[in-house]
Amino acid sequence: MDFSKSMSVAASGMRAQTERMKIISENIANASSTATSKGGDPYRRKIATITPSFDRELGATLVNAGKPMNDKSDFRNQYDPGNPNADAQGYVKLPNVDSLVEIMDMREAQRSYEADLTVMDSTKQMLAKTVDLLNK
């Protein structure tokens, strides 16, 4: 078993999940924002992407955070005639962010990060045991 390979693969997964959590956090932070100009669109939800890449030196496939994509689903409408961003019918466009979906995505990213961390810890323990055996 190549310890550096397993550590590198787990580390790439941790970096990718960290970027994913940043995007999810941005979505949650903007879940109730409105357009910056009258008649404009509010914040559009972003979707994190992860792309594989083969590392020839390691001989392993690593993952990287890709460029986030915009969610093309419709914006939500809320009746608020007193809002300066309201249209002629009194509706305000709100972001296409569902906080429940974002929380579930965050939990999934967190669990993936924790799984990669467990791989790193296990590899570190195996490496320490190997060094102990070699010293005896």
pLDDT at 64: 95
Does residue 136 belong to any structural domain of this protein? no
Does residue 92 belong to any structural domain of this protein? yes
Does residue 68 belong to any structural domain of this protein? yes
Number of compact structural domains in the chain: 1
Residue 111's closest CA among 25, 27, 20? 20
pTM summary value: 0.86
pLDDT at 136: 77
pLDDT at 4: 87
Does residue 116 belong to any structural domain of this protein? yes
> Residues 6 or more apart from 95 whose CB is under 8 A from it?
27, 30, 31, 32, 33, 42, 43, 44, 45, 75, 76
- CA dist., res. 24 & res. 27, Å (int): 5
Contact between 50 and 18 (Cβ < 8 Å):
no
pLDDT at 46: 97
pLDDT at 1: 54
- CA dist., res. 82 & res. 104, Å (int): 33
pLDDT tens for the chain, residues 1 to 136: 588 899 999 999 999 999 999 999 999 999 999 888 777 899 999 999 999 999 999 899 999 999 999 999 999 999 999 888 888 899 999 999 999 999 999 999 999 999 999 999 999 999 899 888 888 7
- Tell me which residue range forms the domain holding 123: 3-131
